[in-house]
Amino acid sequence: MTDATAELKVTAASDIEVDRDALDQSIKEFAGPNGDYYVNAFHKIHDATSAVPNTFNLWAAVLGPFWSASRAIWGMFWTFLILEIIAWVQIGRGAWGNPGADLAERAARQQDRANELLGRAADATEQADVDRFTKLAENIQRAADSSLEKAQAAQSEALGIMITGLLMLLVFKLVQGFYADRIYEKQYSNWRIDPESTESGRSNRNIVLGAILIAAIGPLIVYKFTVNASLAMLDAFPEKEVSALILGEGQGTLFSTVATWMEAQIDAAALAGGDVFDGIVAGVRSVLDGLTIALIGSPWPVVMLVICVTAWRAAGPRVAIFTASSLAYIALLGYWDVAMETVALVGAAVLLCVAFGIPLGIWFGKSKRAYRAAEPVLDLMQTLPAFVYLIPIIAFFGTGNPPGILATIIFGMPPVIRLTALGMRGVPESIKEAAVAFGASKWQLLKDVEVPLASPSIMAGVNQTILMCLSMVVIISLIGGGGLGKEILEALQYAAKGPGLLGGFAILFCAMVIDRIVQGAFRREDEKV
Amino acid sequence: MTETVVKLTDVWKIFGARAEEAMTAVRNEGIGKPEVLERFNCVVGVQGATFEVPRGEIFCIMGLSGSGKSTLVRHINRLIEPTSGKIEILGHDVSQISETELRRIRAQQIGMVFQHMALMPHRSVRDNVAYPLEIRKVSKSKRWAVSDHALGLVDLTGYEDRLPKELSGGMQQRVGIARALASDPEILLMDEPFSALDPLIRLQLQDQFKALVAQLQKTTLFITHDLDEAIRIGHRIAIMKDGVIVQIGTPEDIVMNPADDYVREFVQGISKLKLVKAHSIMEPLDSYSGPTEGAPRADEGADLDQLIDLAVNTDLPVIITDGGQDIGVVTKPRLLRGIQGGKND
Ligand SMILES: Nc1ncnc2c1ncn2[C@@H]1O[C@H](COP(=O)(O)OP(=O)(O)O)[C@@H](O)[C@H]1O
Ligand SMILES: [Mg+2]
């Protein structure tokens, strides 16, 4: 009975031994130099059942970041490089720094002054002067004493700082020693999964790289924090000196040179392409004028009625009532014309976004290469703060409503392009194939299959574009755009709280009405399909 | 002799950027599918397919998934261009025709049905069926009339104005068939039309479809991965494996004389009752000496199923006739052997 169990155990153990052989081989292959040590360490780690480290890597502790660099454990390298530098800075401040230097100097100065006053007191002939100088000297002597005391206190603190630094360093070394093998074992596991992109072994390149990084970063930082009067060059980037070095003495800074150059370039481009830019402005203006005539030229009751009925048809009675009250608010407070101007501005921007965005989106949906090329531009259009591109827009297109619409388009167009492309790519291949199999041409395929099937996505893009265009209403007033945004801007300039709030609500209501109507229309659309 | 409608001659399809190179290597060095993948990173879809389909025949293409059935059939309407080989429809080489002519042929002469229906979800059933006509710019009134007629053929009258998603899977596939029939094409290409359906619905549709095609006399290429289906529907069956057509023959042919072990394995589980005919198991009349008085009679084309029906009611053998003339008998032992696998001991 016992024999059998023992035998069983022996067999099982030998089985495991066989596995270990393959594992050892792979660990050795991974670790390179010192393979035996890591085989041993990883075994211990594999056998461990608790999270408490059970190995200690002496070299990792002694060499610190240098070890992790040599083993290409870069995360560990940076963490402990920074931590060790912090510790070294403390040690440096304690050992070589002079924390009480300022105070000691002051104490010496005060002592001198006190002595000088005492001398004067001794020289003085009149009793009143003697008294006065003695009194002063006493006061200053007291101050000098207190400064000296403080200086000494700071001096003795230095020892404390140094000890703290040493303790920190010790702790970091221990942590590295204890966790080095565990971290390295993690790297080994990653290496097993993906040997191509996980570094293994010990390479001279990494040793040199680590040494350079440590040498470049460590001493400079320790020097900067340790020595009291450090070099000015290390405190701030020597921008003026470098500029002088590159451009020559007295030629201004790099900044001013590049800025001037860019200004000249933009001016030249604006001048050269003047006709094109004027053409674009004229085109945008004609769209805007059309909308403005419709919204402001028509009698207000007509416009109001049309908007309310649209709201009703698109989104139901509740939205219609909300729309009517919003419009009443706008009209009663005298915002009617400016509000309609805002709607015309947003409407023109949305129309242009859709007119150009959908064809572009269709193209990007069909051509992967075009989409890859356009993607960074789209990202830029969305992430660039509007204030940045307002300047070139002024340079090229001047100020007023049309340039404001152009700025709005830059910000608002990406969603409709993206979602159109997404929708196009989501059209099932099988349905496209069926249409082609029944003889559809490219154009028929596009109009009968691709666009209809992508339309929910396209509509979602249009919706997002509308909302993004609305959010630009105030910003474009900075470059002369009119409408409610301008009211807000003026109120802001004169800190006029009342008009600012009233105008703000007017914008809010406009935005909410448009948003509700559009959302409602989409919901209806969804219910239909 | 009936006219040949579809004819393929040594058609090869190799997918990948270096297909031409791979084709040359295949021709000159005779390398196989794995080597082509390894050396040129190209997938061989179809290898040297050659067959002819006469008018009115249902030609089944059977094979496991990935064996190249869809690829093969898509050559016929040139959804896929062959790497090498010739495809003819009614004597015209399809690789020679212009883009416009190709679209006309696709719209008028070839109807296609897909495994996943591939109906347009935003169009009504009627407009889906009418789409091949719409492409050809047929007037709306004509289109609608034709589409309603086609829907009638597949028993879907009354569903014209529904959207596809309101219909069950079987009904959707019938819409797909109606769409393929709408322009009254010469050829039907069916790419696993019933594979995605429930078994019961599938049986029903198979029968319906067979009757319909017999009535309309359409030349049909019917893809399936189910040998039972191929046997039920096909006049002839081509069996594909790894892009190669390993055997072409009538269902009886394939079941009785499988070309290789691969086909044999497929055929094993197939019931022979409907396949084996009386003439292949009967004993000539002269060599039979037992009583025949009052014995039931059957035509030489009768299958085992019918013979069993006749034999259960009598102790006598079944007399086999050809054009009214007695030519042989099927005794009970022979009938049992036939059921076993059609072998005459
Ligand atoms: N466009 C393609 N590009 C590359 N390989 C393809 C392509 N289409 C099909 N194949 C390959 O060709 C082989 C046959 O595919 P297919 O004809 O769809 O098989 P089946 O219809 O019999 O299931 C498969 O190995 C498949 O991966
Ligand atoms: Mg297929």
pLDDT tens digits for range A283-294: 999 999 999 888
**Using a CB-CB distance cutoff of 8 angstroms, which residues of chain B are in contact with residue A529?**
121-122
Q: How much is the pLDDT for A18?
A: 53
Q: Mark out chain B residues that contact chain A at CB-CB < 8 A.
A: 77, 79, 103-108, 110-112, 114, 116, 118-122, 131-132, 134-136, 179, 183, 189
**A100-119 pLDDT per residue, tens:** 777 788 888 888 888 888 88
Question: How far from chain centre, in Å, is Cα A25?
Answer: 45
Q: Which amino acid is at A226?
A: T
Q: Residues spanned by CATH 3.40.50.300 within chain B?
A: 54-109+185-267
Q: What is the pLDDT of residue A461?
A: 92
User: Which residue among A435, A439, A452 places its CB closest to the CB of B122?
Assistant: A452
Which H or E element spans position A51? none
Q: Would you say the CB of residue B49 lies under 6 angstroms from ligand 1?
A: no
Could B120 and A452 be called an inter-chain contact, meaning their C-beta atoms sit closer than 8 Å?
yes
Residues of A in contact with B135 (CB under 8 A): 438-441, 444
* Topology (CATH level 3) of domain B278-340: CBS domain Like (3.90.1280)
Give the right CATH number for B54-109+185-267 from 3.40.50.300, 3.30.300.30, 1.10.10.2840, 3.30.230.10.
3.40.50.300
CA atoms of A137 and A148, how far apart (whole Å): 16
- Looking at chain A, the whole-number percentage of residues with pLDDT higher than 90 is 30
Instruction: Judge: B135–A436 Cβ closer than 8 Å, yes or no.
Output: no
Nearest to B117 by CA among B83, B165, B73: B165
H or E stretch covering B14: strand B4-15
For the cut 70, the answer to whether the pLDDT of residue A230 exceeds it is no
CB atoms within 10 A of CB B242: 18
Q: How far is the CA of B166 from the centre of ligand 2 (A)?
A: 26
Confidence of residue A10 (pLDDT cuts 50, 70, 90): low
Whether residue A7 has pLDDT greater than 60: no
CA angle A30, A32, A33 (to 5 degrees): 150
CA separation for the pair A33, B180 (Å, rounded): 71
pLDDT in tens, A462-496: 988 998 898 888 889 988 888 888 988 899 889 88
Question: Which string of DSSP letters, residue by residue, matches A203-232?
Answer: -HHHHHHHHHHHHHHHHHHHHHHHSSS--H
Task: Check residue A360 and give its pLDDT.
Answer: 95
In the numeric block, the tokens 């402990």 are attached to A80
Of B106, B121, B122, the CB nearest to A437: B106
What span, in angstroms and rounded, lies between the C-alpha atoms of A352 and A409?
A: 7
- Residue B147 Cα to ligand 2 midpoint, Å, equals 27
Please say if the pLDDT value at position A2 is more than 80.
no
Q: In what order do the strands lie in the sheet with B297-299?
A: B283-284, B325-330, B318-322, B297-299
Q: Are A183 and A50 in contact (CB under 8 A)?
A: no
Residues of A with CB under 8 A from a CB of B: 428, 430-431, 433-441, 444, 448-449, 452-453, 529
Nearest CA to ligand 1 atom 10: B45
Q: Which segment of A298-312, A509-523, B220-234 scores lowest on mean pLDDT?
A: A509-523
Per-residue confidence band for A1, with pLDDT thresholds at 50, 70 and 90:
very low
3-state secondary structure A461-512: HHHHHHHHHHCCCCHHHHHCCCCHHHHHHHHHHCCCHHHHHHHHHHHHHHHH
Taking contacts as CB-CB distances below 8 angstroms, the residues of chain B near A440 are 103, 135
Residue B95 main-chain phi, psi, to 5 deg: -75, -15
Question: Given ligand 1 and candidates B12, B36, B43, B64, which is best to mutate, with the most ligand atoms within 8 Å of its CB?
Answer: B43
Whether the per-residue pLDDT at A14 is higher than 70: the answer is no
Give the tens place of pLDDT for each residue, A168-205: 999 999 999 999 989 998 889 888 888 888 888 888 88
* Rg value, chain B, Cα: 23
Residue B132 and residue A457 in contact, taking contact as beta carbons nearer than 8 Å? no
How far is the C-alpha of A261 from the C-alpha of A504, rounded, in Å? 40
Q: What residues in B contact A527, CB-CB < 8 Å?
A: none
Nearest residue (CA) to ligand 1, atom 7: B15
- Check pLDDT > 90 for residue A396: no
Ligand that comes closest to the CA of residue B13 = 1
Mean per-residue pLDDT, A332-338:
91
Mutate to test the interface with B, among A430, A438, A444, A527 (most CBs of B within 10 A): A438
- A234-266: pLDDT as tens digits: 677 877 778 777 777 777 788 888 888 988 888
Amino acid at the residue A321: I
Taking the C-alpha atoms of residue B206 and residue B194, their distance in angstroms, rounded to an integer, is: 8
Q: Which fold has domain A274-528?
A: MetI-like fold (1.10.3720)
Residue A529 has pLDDT above 60, yes or no: no
CA–centroid distance, B289 to ligand 1, in Å, is: 59
Q: Does the beta-carbon distance from A438 to B179 stay under 8 Å?
A: yes
Say if ligand 1 is within 6 A of residue B239 CB.
Answer: no
Residue B8 CA, ligand 2 centroid: distance in Å: 19
Closest Cα in chain A to B129: A438
Flag if A448 and B131 touch (Cβ within 8 Å). yes
Cβ–Cβ < 8 Å for B95, B105: no
* Per-residue exposure over A133-158, b if at least 16 CB sit within 10 Å of its own CB, e if not: bbebbeebbebbeebbebbeebeeeb
**Cα A207 to Cα A185: distance, rounded to the nearest angstrom:** 20
The whole-angstrom distance between A437's CA and the closest CA on chain B is 6
* B84: closest CA of chain A, how far (Å): 21
Q: How crowded is residue B140: how many other Cβ atoms within 10 Å of its Cβ? A: 11
Q: How far apart are CA A78 and CA A81, in angstroms?
A: 5
d(CA B268, CA B264): 6
What average pLDDT does the structure give for chain B?
88
Q: Which atom of ligand 1 is nearest to the CA of B225?
A: 22
Q: For chain A, how far is it from start to end, CA to CA, in angstroms? A: 75
pTM across the whole model? 0.72
Place of tokens 């009250």: A325
Residue with tokens 């090869």: B12
Bridging pattern class, strands B187-191 and B219-224: parallel
Q: What is the pLDDT of residues A367-392, one digit of tens each?
A: 999 999 999 999 988 888 888 888 88
Residue A196: predicted pLDDT = 82
Q: A354-366 as b/e, with b when 16 or more CB fall inside 10 Å?
A: beebbebbbbbbe
Question: What is the C-alpha to C-alpha distance for residues A304 and A363, in angstroms, rounded to an integer?
Answer: 39
Looking at the DSSP bridge assignments, the partners of residue B320 are B298, B328
Residue A36 has phi, psi (to 5 degrees) of: -60, -40
User: Nearest by CB to B135, which of A433, A440, A453?
Assistant: A440
Strand pairing report for B110-113 and B187-191: parallel
Task: Specify the residue with its C-alpha closest to ligand 1, atom 1.
Answer: B15
Cβ contact (<8 Å) for B107 and A438?
A: yes
ipTM given for this complex: 0.84
A439 to B132: CB separation less than 8 angstroms, yes or no: yes
Output the pLDDT for position A11: 56
Give how far B152 is from chain A: nearest CA, Å: 21
Residues of chain B with CATH 3.90.1280.20: 278-340
On average, the pLDDT of chain A sits at 86
Helix, strand, coil percentages, rounded to 5, for chain B: 40, 25, 35
Ligand lying closest to the C-alpha of residue B69 = 1
Distance CA B45, CA B75 (A): 11
Q: Are A302 and A503 in contact (CB under 8 A)?
A: no
Integer Cα distance of A223 and A295 in angstroms: 70
The closest of A187, A198, A210 to A65, measured between CA atoms, is A210
The DSSP symbol for B79 reads S
Degrees to nearest 5, angle at CA A95 with A89 and A100: 95
**In degrees, to the nearest 5, what angle opens at C-alpha A44 toward C-alphas A39 and A48?**
150
d(CA B160, CA B184): 19
- The DSSP letter of residue B32 is -
Beta bridge partners of B152: none
Each residue's pLDDT expressed in tens, for chain B with a length of 345 residues: 578 999 999 999 999 888 888 998 888 888 888 888 888 889 999 998 999 999 989 999 999 989 999 999 999 999 999 999 999 998 889 888 999 999 999 999 999 999 888 999 999 999 999 999 999 889 999 999 999 999 998 889 999 899 999 999 889 999 999 999 998 999 999 999 998 888 888 888 898 888 888 888 899 999 999 888 998 899 999 999 999 999 999 988 888 788 888 888 888 777 777 777 888 788 888 888 888 788 888 888 888 888 888 888 888 888 888 888 888 888 888 888 877 765 444
